[in-house]
Amino acid sequence: MSTDPFTPPDVSDEELLALEARVQEAQRNRSLDGLTAYGFGEVSIALGWPTDEPRFVAKRLIPMAEAHRIDEPLAAIETLIGRVTDRGHRVLPTETRRVRRPDGQHVGYVVQPIVPKGQLAETVLATDTPTVGHPLLVAVRDFVQACGGDDVMLDAQIPNFARVDGELWLLDVTSPARFEPDGTLIDPLADLSAQLVPAVLRPALGKATNDILQTYRGVHNQLTQVAVFLRRVDAEAWVQPAIETFNEVLDEPIDPAVVAEKWEKNQKDFPKIKKLLQIQRAWQEKVRRRPYEYLITDSFTGEVI
How far from chain centre, in Å, is Cα 30? 21
Residues 6+ apart with CB under 8 A from 163: 119, 120, 121, 124, 136, 139, 169
Written as tens digits, the pLDDT of the chain (305 aa) is 456 889 999 999 999 999 999 999 999 999 999 899 998 887 789 999 999 999 999 999 999 999 999 999 999 999 999 999 999 999 999 999 999 999 999 999 999 999 999 999 999 999 999 999 999 999 999 999 999 999 999 999 999 999 999 999 999 999 999 999 999 999 998 877 777 777 777 787 778 788 888 999 999 999 999 999 999 999 999 999 999 999 999 999 999 999 999 999 988 888 888 887 888 888 888 888 888 888 888 877 888 88
Q: How buried is residue 182: exposed, middle or buried, by Cβ count under 10 Å (0-12/13-18/19+)?
A: exposed
pLDDT of residue 1: 45
The per-residue b/e assignment along 208-241, b for 16 or more CB within 10 angstroms, e otherwise, is: bbeebbebbbbbbbbbbbbbbbbbbbebeebbeb
**pTM recorded for the entire structure:** 0.92
DSSP 288: S
User: In Å, what is the CA distance from 294 to each residue of 2, 29, 268, 297?
Assistant: 38, 12, 21, 9
Distance CA 168, CA 242 (A): 16
Q: How far is CA 242 from CA 72, 220, 247, 271, 302, in A?
A: 35, 13, 8, 26, 25
Length of the chain in terms of residues written = 305
